[in-house]
Amino acid sequence: MSEYWIGDWVKICSSGRKGKFEGEVNNKAKIKVENKLFLVDLSDIELLPEDEIPQNLPKSKTYFPKPKKSKYTNTIDLHIEKLAPAMQNEIPELIVSYQIERAKEFLLKSIERRQLDVTIIHGIGTGALKMEIEALLKSFDEVYFTKSINNGGAIKILFRYY
């Protein structure tokens, strides 16, 4: 395990390129320079001093892409490769934020349409997204009952309206 944190600015010593540390793969550092990813030996990078970190960088595409317009369905699949394939290489925190935002919009639309039940597919993974979805569901008075389905990879939600 290296001493670098994801997002640290580093310099690739052999080429002089500056980029962000994106993680490790088989004792190699993943460095993102502009829009390209480089795999280099960990011994070939060094942390950039504060005064050498680029300040006026062009805005990256770390915005939430707009969901595709589609007809309503009572199921949403939050796997990022289905939801927004362009975001697959974003940082996990941004991906989870996007997934939660889409789930919230889905629930609001479902309630507006007075659906009786919906399904949110969150996947099994580490369980982090599932916990976020469960917390989100507690904020809706209309949620009457929830049940874990698909071996814990999805949640079936029943609504009630007053």
Radius of gyration of the chain (CA): 20
pLDDT digits (tens, 9 = 90+) for 33-77: 888 888 999 899 999 888 887 776 555 555 556 666 667 789 999
Query: How many whole angstroms separate alpha carbon 41 and alpha carbon 26?
Result: 9
pLDDT level of residue 156 (50, 70, 90 thresholds): very high
- The tokens for 21 are 């540390």
State yes or no: pLDDT of 141 exceeds 80: yes
Confidence (pTM): 0.57
CATH class, domain 75-159, is alpha beta
State yes or no: pLDDT of 32 exceeds 60: yes
